[in-house]
Amino acid sequence: MFIDEGLSPLRSEPTSLPAQVMTNPTTDREQMVQSQLKARGISDLRVLNAMRRVPRHEFVLESHRSEAYEDRPLPIGDSQTISQPYVVALMLESLQIKTTDSVLEIGTGSGYATALLAELATRIFSMERHRDLADTARNTLTALGYSNVQVLTGDGTRGLPDEAPFDAILVSAAAPSIPSALLSQLREGGRMILPVGSPDAQQLQFIHKLNGQPIISFRESVRFVPLVSSVIKPE
């Protein structure tokens, strides 16, 4: 399966649902859960229920609200996207997040995945390099009542050493390899998921840290925006 998180048309199976007018967000979310998540094998009840609760339409541009529960990524400004619901659910389910976990998210974007993480864990630290996106996400999360989240502006490749170690790390941008700083900030026994590869060929990698070493398993092929470092600029 190939899942495209960029602005090009979705190329995964099954094909995207047709465009629809959002008439009842609760009904639209349930349809999303049933047809896009459960039908594709997402079975973690905590993840499914979180995605039933979080209003995705609050995290998209006003011009795209009628498309908020469709089976595809959407633009959110600054050449960034809100990820396809299935991809978010897959990454969250892979992390097996516990209520007591401290979680680091790299790539806040609109704050949608941040809100889902806040439904699942006690402490969420989210980093975004685009200040305007970080400000918007912070305001949306606050308006929705999420008080266990800190949204910070900074270089996600460096992580957040002052708050480490983390039980889980979710990276929503593609790195050419696993960032060593993030691995070092992962608690022994911790879990991390991120897309790894070139701009045109990426694969989700799940990392379980055991005896200080990354145990890697490979998941779906995807295409995310690049993870940008303030030290090494993309060509």
Closest CA to 171 of 188, 183, 163, 161: 183
- Catalytically active residues, by annotation: 83
The β-bridge partners of 195 are 204
Predicted confidence (pLDDT) per residue in 114-151, tens digit: 999 999 999 999 999 999 999 999 999 999 999 999 99
The contacts of residue 116 (CB under 8 Å, 6+ apart) are: 47, 50, 51, 54, 88, 92
Task: Give the C-alpha separation, 65 to 59, whole Å.
Answer: 9
Task: Give the C-alpha separation, 186 to 209, whole Å.
Answer: 7
234: number of Cβ within 10 Å: 9
Using the 8-state DSSP alphabet, how is residue 22 labeled? -
Q: What is the pTM of this model?
A: 0.88
Task: Set out the domains of the chain in order of their start, with CATH numbers.
Answer: 2-223 (3.40.50.150)
Looking at residue 74, its amino acid is: L
CB 116, CB 95: distance < 8 Å: no
pLDDT level of residue 13 (50, 70, 90 thresholds): very low
Closest CA to 109 of 96, 126, 122, 85: 126
CB 175, CB 196: distance < 8 Å: yes
Largest CA distance in the chain: 51
Predicted confidence (pLDDT) per residue in 149-196, tens digit: 999 999 999 999 999 999 999 999 999 999 999 999 999 999 999 999
Please tell me whether residue 146 adopts helix, strand or coil conformation: coil
Closest CA to 119 of 135, 139, 101, 94: 101
Q: Give the length of the chain.
A: 235
* pLDDT at residue 200 in the model: 85
117: number of Cβ within 10 Å: 29
Predicted confidence (pLDDT) per residue in 94-117, tens digit: 999 999 999 999 999 999 999 999
